[in-house]
Structures are given as C-alpha cells and as structure tokens.
Amino acid sequence: MTAESNVAAALALNNIGLSLVRHDCHELAIAAFCDSLSLLQCLHSPESVHLMMDRANQFLACWKDFVSLQEQRRDDCHTCLRISRRDMPHESLTTALRNEVDQIILLNSTSFNLIFLRFAESPISRAERSPTHCAVFESIILNNLASAFICAWEQQPNELQLADKALEIWGQNAILLERMLFNGIYDDSLRSQVSSLHVFVLCCIERTATVLGLQAVAVELSNQIMTEYSYFCEIDEEEGAYEIPKDIAAASAA
C-alpha cells in the first residue's frame, strides 16, 4: 500500500463520514474520521486499510437502523444549542468566508454554524500528494471530526466531555494551521485556503469556549479572530482586490 493510496483512502473515508453525519450517525462518523486521520498520519498495511474501508461502508449500508436509534435519542434531547450544519466542497470555504462573513464571524456566540468539508471523488493529482496538501487534508478532517463531536453533543447535552473533545481537536487544528502559515505557503490559492480554515476553526473554538463558560478563552479568541480575518483579507486583496466589510472593520478596530 503506497502513501498515495493511503491518502486516497483517507479522503474517501472522510466523505463516508460526512454521509454518516447527514444521517445523524455521529458516533459512526467519528470512527470514520478517526480512521481517515490515522491513514493520513502513518502508513498502514493493505489489510488494515481494507478493513477500515469495509467497516465504514458497512456502517453506511446499514444507516437506516442507526437513524432509527438516533431519532429516538433526538426526541429525548432538549438542548439549548442552536446548531446549523451543511457540507460543501473543501475548496469552497474561502468563498463562503468571503461572502458570508457576517454569519460566520458575527454570529451569536452560542450558535454553531458547522461546515463539513468534503473531497472530490476524482483521483488526487501529483501536486496534491505534497506534504503541504496532506497537511491541509488533515486539517479539514480534524474540523469534520470536531464538528461531529458537537453534533453528538447536541443530542446528548449532558455529556460535556463531547464538547471538551471538540475543543481539544479544534485546538490541535489551530496549531497545525498556524504552523503552516508561519512556515510560509508559496501557492497563493492554497495560502488563502489555509487562512480561511484558520479563521473558521478559531470561530469554532470561540463558540465552544463560550458555551462551556470559558469566558477568558472566548475573549482572547475573539480578538485573534479579527486579526486573522484581516490577514485573510490581505491575502484576498492580493488575489482579487477584496475589501474588509465595514462592520468587520469596526469590530476589529474596537
């Protein structure tokens, strides 16, 4: 099993995880995302990769039974969280941040605007096998994994460890993205994508910290979000003369 095959299998497992999330099979989605990360982070034998894929596909094939169970749990759940979720191609997050900044950054801090990112089903290109691209793939899957924990928490609001785990994963993701930006990314489009991921992940950390009552962390993150969003706009200006919206500029200056 080559490293290239591992990456392809990891991206496929990520998309299976998204399908499970759509059917509210969050625990199974978490397992699929964890297997996906495991494939990206180290080499596996062909046998272990096939077992991962078979298990994930079996989960997906049996989703009706799992949905029935999840619906019963949802009926018993009375959560105060306001969660919206959607999925989109991973290349579209930059455009979403540019066009929906008021919803992503200025959204009420107790609301979660979760965005799950999926990969194209076409074979990965030679350029996408680079360490930088693989790090971006890892960041995307980490975001999806943390988001799945938040969805599970919505159904089990008394299980605070689910929110704690999401906060931990998004924190790891922020460190990964900060390291990439610090080391320098010479492809402008990829740099813009990493920057948009960084802003979005920081927003998720800030909202999770707020709901968990970690106010000092939330305030610090709010300031960092504005700084990083300004940096994202600088990158965008280099590519297409994008201006910071007035309400965001005012919040950043406050």
State CA 111 to chain mean position distance: 16
Contact (Cβ atoms closer than 8 angstroms) between residue 82 and residue 110: yes
Radius of gyration of the chain (CA): 18
Backbone angles phi, psi at 25, to 5 degrees: -95, 70
Q: How confident is the model at residue 64 (pLDDT cuts 50, 70, 90)?
A: very low
Q: Write out pLDDT tens, residues 196-234.
A: 899 999 988 888 888 888 888 888 888 888 888 888 888
As to burial, measured by CB atoms within 10 angstroms (0-12 exposed, 13-18 middle, 19+ buried), residue 111 is middle
Residue 16 has pLDDT above 80, yes or no: yes
- Maximum separation of any 2 CA atoms in the chain, in Å: 56
Look up residue 128 and give its DSSP letter: G
Convert the pLDDT of each residue in 173-186 to its tens digit.
999 999 888 888 87
**Distance between CA atoms of 29 and 42, rounded to whole angstroms?**
20
Cβ partners under 8 Å of residue 129, min gap 6: 3, 4, 7
What backbone phi and psi angles, to 5 degrees, belong to 117? -110, 130
- Cβ(91)–Cβ(125) below 8 Å: no
Q: What percent of the chain has pLDDT over 70?
A: 68
Sequence-ordered list of residues with C-beta below 8 angstroms from that of 97, at least 6 positions apart, any chain: 104, 196, 199, 200, 232
The token duo for 20 is 């499970």
67-125 confidence digits (pLDDT tens): 444 444 433 333 456 778 888 888 888 888 777 766 666 555 556 788 899 888 766 66
Q: What is the pTM of this model?
A: 0.78
Distance CA 20, CA 57 (A): 10
| pLDDT reported for residue 154 | 85
